[in-house]
Structures are given as structure tokens and as C-alpha cells.
């Protein structure tokens, strides 16, 4: 690490929700954060007061309502956006679109005005559309830097690592599976041929595991039976990504995470691949790399759906 201060102000927007609260708790424990500003439309002051009693150095402050949003965002280095409605049983991520797209757009507009150089980490679903929405907002404001806007797809990687370790008995802390594409259904493509440490899968295992990773969100929605969607595992994944980004911004080398970003890896304008993170966001896009025939087929299959979601986001942002 070089001489840059490892302490960064960090702001989760949507901080008192199902993801926001556990995410804020995880972030509060980090020694890399000296200021944690929480924003939501309600309850944030109480959440901030509760978190502020924890014996770690991050100073916590809560901001409530649109009138306080810009004050909250001022001076941010990283903004994490988990805001929006959770999925209920029978709902697709697209059913969430109209509610969450509006929320993502207004938060992105506030960020573009107030902290245009901050890293923006978008958790709000559908990520396949909310990332293009944020990018369009930034372009309109004349402050777009494609290296600083991230769709957090880390939960797909976390799930892949967990499910592979369960199936194959590998140590879960060492299991690493890149996941490319998008962050919904078939647009999620785990590269099982590239798992480290290397493991072999039968055709049946590969098929079943791929489908389980793609549908893992629905697995949780159904298990919660009306009680919401994946919040705790998503908070963990969001924190994992934020910590990786903080370490990279602080000068750590070879920090690699998958994320959905502005991309020329395929013909699609946004795509998730492994990225080397650096002081200014995306340092290098590692691309798709070598994949097998099963994955090549999955890649071709996902493009139509992912492209439609991206176009839907762009259209919404320009309404």
C-alpha cells in the first residue's frame, strides 16, 4: 500500500431496508472506512444511532428524505445503492422495473450532481437495467466515467463458489468461479470450466449447477414465502465488493472482482466479466477468456435477454 489514506467516506443509499441494514453493519466493521453516511426515505436516523455504538472507527450519520440526500452524498468516495423494492413470490426482476428504475434514476441524478467522481456500486434490481440507467444519467450530466459505475453481480460469484464447494467438497474459502454476463436468470453465466482449484463436472452436474446458480435468487424468494428476497447474502456480497474496491483505491494490487460495467468485450454495451480494480475504478477488463462449448452456447443464449434489459434501461433514462 502506498501513502494514500486508507480511510474513505462511504454512503449506502437505501440504508434502512432489508439489504441496507445488514450491509451497513458489515461496512461499519471495516477499518478501511472512516465515515459511513446512511440515506433512506425513512428510519435512517435510528439505524445510524444503533450502528454508532459499535466499537469501530467509522463515524456514522443518518440522513432522511430527499431534502437531505445531497448533504449525505457530499464528499463521497464510494456510493452503494441497494435501494428499492424486494421481489415477492411470483414476481420477476422485471416486475420490479418500474418502481426500482425510478429510484435508481433519481439517486444517480443526485450522485451525478453532488459526487460525480465517486465510485457507484449498484445493487438495486434489475441490475441489467439499473446500470445502463445510471450511465445514461451521468452522460446527460456530462460527468460519465465508465470506469466508476459498477453493477454488483458479486452474489452470483458467492453463490457459485458456495454451491461448487458443497457439491465437490472443495474448501469454500479457496473456491473461485468467475461469473459473466448479467445478473438475472439465464444472463448469469458461471464459468465452471475455470473454477479454481480445478474440479471436473459431469454434463449433468454442469447443467444442474448452472441452473441452480441462475435461479438461486428465486430459491430464496420461495423459501421466504412472502417475507422478501435475498437480503443477508446480498449484503455480504455488496460488502465484499465494496471492500475489494476500497482496497484497490488504497493501492492494493491484483484486486479482481466480477462486475457489470460499460464494456466492449461483446457487442453488448454492458457486460459482467472479471475486472482488475485500481485507484480509479476499472483498471483492466480481463474479458471472457477461454470457455468451453457449453459456456459458449450459454453466452449466445443470454445475449438477447441481456440486450433487451439494457435497452429498456437506456429507454427509461431518456424518457
Which of these is catalytic: 93, 183, 194, 312? 183
Based on the residue annotation, tell me whether 183 is a catalytic residue of this protein.
yes
**Other CB atoms within 10 A of residue 294 CB:** 17
Q: How many Å apart are CA 41 and CA 242, to the nearest integer?
A: 23
Backbone angles phi, psi at 225, to 5 degrees: 45, 55
Q: Check: CB of residue 217 under 8 Å from CB of residue 229.
A: yes
Beta bridge partners of 151: 122, 260
DSSP sequence for 136-180: HHHHHHT---GGGEEE--HHHHHHHHHHHHHHH---TTT-B--EE
Q: Check: CB of residue 193 under 8 Å from CB of residue 291.
A: yes
Q: 204: burial class by Cβ within 10 Å (0-12, 13-18, 19+)?
A: exposed
| Active-site residue list | 183
Amino acid at each position: 500500500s502506498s501513502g494514500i489514506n486508507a480511510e474513505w467516506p462511504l454512503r449506502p443509499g437505501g440504508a434502512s431496508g432489508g439489504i441496507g441494514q445488514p450491509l451497513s453493519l458489515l461496512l461499519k466493521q471495516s477499518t478501511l472506512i472512516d465515515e459511513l453516511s446512511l440515506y433512506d426515505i425513512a428510519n435512517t436516523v435510528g439505524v445510524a444511532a444503533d450502528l454508532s455504538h459499535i466499537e469501530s472507527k467509522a463515524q456514522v450519520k443518518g440522513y432522511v428524505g430527499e431534502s437531505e440526500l445531497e448533504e449525505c452524498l457530499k464528499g463521497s468516495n464510494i456510493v452503494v445503492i441497494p435501494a428499492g423494492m424486494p421481489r415477492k413470490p411470483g414476481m420477476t426482476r422485471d416486475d420490479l422495473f418500474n418502481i426500482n428504475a425510478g429510484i435508481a434514476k433519481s439517486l444517480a441524478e443526485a450522485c451525478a450532481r453532488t459526487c460525480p467522481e465517486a465510485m457507484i456500486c449498484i445493487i438495486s434490481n434489475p441490475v441489467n437495467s439499473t446500470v445502463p440507467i445510471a450511465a445514461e444519467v451521468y452522460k446527460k450530466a456530462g460527468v460519465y466515467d465508465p470506469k466508476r459505475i459498477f453493477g454488483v453481480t458479486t452474489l452470483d460469484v458467492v453463490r457459485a463458489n458456495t454451491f461448487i464447494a458443497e457439491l465437490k467438497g472443495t474448501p469454500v474459502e479457496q473456491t473461485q468461479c468467475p461469473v459473466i454476463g448479467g445478473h438475472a436468470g439465464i444472463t448469469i453465466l458461471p464459468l465452471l470450466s475455470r473454477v479454481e482449484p480445478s474440479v471436473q463436472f459431469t454434463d449433468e452436474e454442469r447443467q444442474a449447477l448452472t441452473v441452480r446458480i441462475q435461479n438461486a435468487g428465486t430459491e430464496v424468494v420461495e423459501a421466504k414465502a412472502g417475507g422478501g428476497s435475498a437480503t443477508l447474502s446480498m449484503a455480504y456480497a455488496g460488502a465484499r465488493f465494496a471492500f475489494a474496491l476500497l482496497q484497490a483505491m488504497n493501492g492494493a494490487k491484483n484486486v479482481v472482482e466480477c462486475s457489470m460495467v460499460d464494456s466492449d468485450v461483446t457487442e453488448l454495451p454492458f457486460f459482467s466479466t472479471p475486472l482488475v480494480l485500481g485507484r480509479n475504478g476499472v483498471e483492466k477488463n480481463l474479458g471472457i477468456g477461454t470457455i468451453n462449448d457449453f459456456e459458449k452456447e450459454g453466452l449466445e443464449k443470454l445475449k438477447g435477454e441481456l440486450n433487451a434489459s439494457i435497452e429498456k434501461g437506456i429507454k427509461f433514462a431518456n424518457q
